[in-house]
Chains A and B, each alone.
Chain A
Amino acid sequence: MREPSAGYPLFGLMAEFDRPESLIEAVKRSRDAGFRRIDAYSPFPIEELAEVLDFRDRRVAWLTLFGGLFGAAAGYGMQAWLHLDYPILVGSRPTITPQAFMLITFELTVLFAVLFSIGGMLVLNHLPKLHHPVFGVESFHLATRDKFFLIVFGHDEKFDPVQTRTFLESLDPVRVDVVRQTEEPA
């Protein structure tokens, strides 16, 4: 899901909660109310949040598998090809020796699976991104401590600065804040 571009007047509206259960409940009710472009912020991973947000992205897992296969093929292929290119004959043993090639093949499988997995995770999350409009909200620094936040993005089809605010306030949050667009550097 893309986040609102700088063209939208408001980045979104953000509600703050004290407890993880309240956040999960709030996300459910926002989805029921028809909001689709929403996100939640929590200090630790909450499996249920991904479920209620209907998050079904499995690309990281596929990338890991692809990386592993790529590493295995590259590892074995490199050894086989280089031994054909420069055969080292020891006691008339065969040039291509699968048993002896397996360890490096395994190591490169692991290496590339992990590189693709972690690299893919960062790219899909659009990280590193050192600044973001949500950091402009005054109490957002508590999102890494013990507070829980729900945002309705400004480009949601049902978004309306006044009505959405009323809706968020009906969810019994600690407070509701406006998330402004940050000025892009010229």
Chain B
Amino acid sequence: MAQAQTQTQSGHAAPTDRVTRIPLAFPKPVAWLICFGCALCLLLLFCISAAVLFWRGIGVWGNNIPVNWGLAISNYIWFLGIGHAGTLISAMLLLLEAHWRNSLNRFAEAMTLVAVICAGLYPILHLGRPWLFYWMAPYPNTMTIWPQFRSPLTWDFFAVLTYLTVSLLFWYIGIVPDLATTRDRAKKRGLQVFYGILALGWRGSARHWARWRQSYRLTAAIAVPLVVSVHSEISLLLAAGPMPGWTSTVFPPYFVLGAAFSGFAVVSMIAVVLRDVLGLKALVTERHLDLLGKFVLATGLMTAYGYCAEVFDALYSGDKQDLGTLMDRLTGRYAWSYWGAVLANFVPLQLLWLRWARRNPLCLFMVSAAVTVGMWFERYMLLVTTLYRDYLVSSWGNYHPSFWDWSLFAGMLGVFFVPFLLFVRFLPVISVFEIKEAKFEESEAQHA
């Protein structure tokens, strides 16, 4: 009996100590500093690029009529898509009681948050006068006018703002109990105060837990349709313009699934890196990689269906413009982006049918990296191949991203990595209390 007791004790203590020791005594401080330094340089590049953009105007970018949505909007769609995986993993799998999610949800949600911030910055920077972005909000003003609520651009404002707020709150109330755990493990006064304030004085009272659980599950249930709505709304942003190639009815699910596909790929990459660097192989096991691989494969095949449906739609419509856009995609000037997307998204993906490939961290990482690049090609292809040749031959034109387009994109990676690296360094990256809860429930089920 005594032995059994020590076992259950250590059963709960081991994962706690394994995760809380990371922010309190970081295992790889030098490697972290090097990464953080690089990320800070990228962030500096972002600031410079944004300053040049503000100072000299949108003309420093390559977009112009007819391709007036260049890298800024394709990157916006790409980043926001990546941000979808966190909420899907956290909310959907929570409601499905898939306990394995507990090892992944925290950093997936953190990734979502920073990705949505990157995404949200793009449309603002893309405005001709970014400092007036608050005109999108309905507020009483001296001009006595209101936003056009029927415009997808206004929908965008509400959708991204809601998504950001809900993701932030969901992530925060999910991390509060673990912040309390870190607070109670911290030895230094400064750290105790830091985690103490962030933990809001959480003490694990049964009544608190009961209310917390109601709130957490309800938020999760509401977040799932929210995720679906956000990327559907983005596809409507395209569909509202009567452009060939943007009016297929498969667009909303095609965008949502593509978003989940790229997001799961990024979560897989982060999982592979974190478990290795932070010594979390006991919590993020090969089984987790296996399941992530299956998710990437499944959402990838659904995205492939979207590609087929899109081609079918153009052929079936028989519309000259739609067929023209299809031919432009397959053989036109920007055909590299179409074939790049097809090759990078779906060819390496087929490896994930094999069990060893899903369980091999390096292999999963490489496939996911290919998918991330491939989905970037797809977003680029969807915008540029449609816009560069529309109905009138007189309005045909080409698009070349300029230096400042690329520098802003590189800098945006700094906006992504700086907060994410701070999260990895200072906050509990894995949801320990949910792992303990699952452990307890499993042992209950065994005894019952």
Contacts and interface: CB of A to CB of B under 8 A. Distances in A.
Given A45-B209, A86-B144, A104 B154 contact: yes
Contacts of B11: 146
Contacts of B203: 41, 132, 134-135, 140, 143
A57 interface: yes
B13 interface: yes
Nearest to B163: A107
Contacts of B208: 125, 127
Interface stretch (B297-305, B414-422, B429-437): B429-437
B181 A118 contact: no
A6 interface: no
Interface residues of B, number: 66
A128 B172 CA distance: 13
Interface string B193-204: 000110011111
B162 A144 contact: no
A20 B447 CA distance: 13
A108 B222 CA distance: 12
Contacts of A88: 148, 150
A130 B223 CA distance: 29
Which of B10, B185, B212 counts the most chain A CB atoms within 10 A?
A: B212
A145 B213 contact: no
Interface stretch (A28-36, A48-56, A161-169): A48-56
A65 B437 CA distance: 27
Interface in A79-105: 79, 82-83, 85-86, 88, 90, 97, 100-101, 103-104
Contact of B5 (A18, A43, A68, A122): A18
B138 A82 contact: yes
Contacts of B313: none
Contacts of A114: 165-166, 169-170, 219, 222-223
Nearest to B156: A103
A18 B388 CA distance: 68
A181 interface: no
A44 B162 contact: no
A122 B214 CA distance: 12
Given A41-B204, A100-B149, A111-B165, A145 B185 contact: yes
B394 interface: no
22 contacts: A19-B8, A43-B16, A44-B440, A45-B212, A49-B206, A49-B209, A50-B209, A55-B206, A55-B207, A68-B222, A82-B147, A106-B229, A107-B229, A110-B162, A117-B219, A122-B200, A129-B201, A141-B185, A143-B184, A144-B16, A144-B181, A144-B202
Given A46-B440, A83-B149, 18 more contacts: A18-B8, A41-B205, A43-B12, A50-B209, A53-B206, A55-B206, A55-B210, A86-B145, A100-B150, A103-B236, A107-B155, A127-B208, A130-B197, A135-B203, A143-B184, A143-B204, A144-B177, A144-B183
Interface of B: 5, 8-13, 16-17, 138, 144-150, 154-155, 158-159, 161-162, 165-166, 169-170, 173, 177, 180-181, 183-185, 196-197, 200-215, 218-219, 222-223, 225-226, 229, 233, 236, 433-434, 436-437, 440
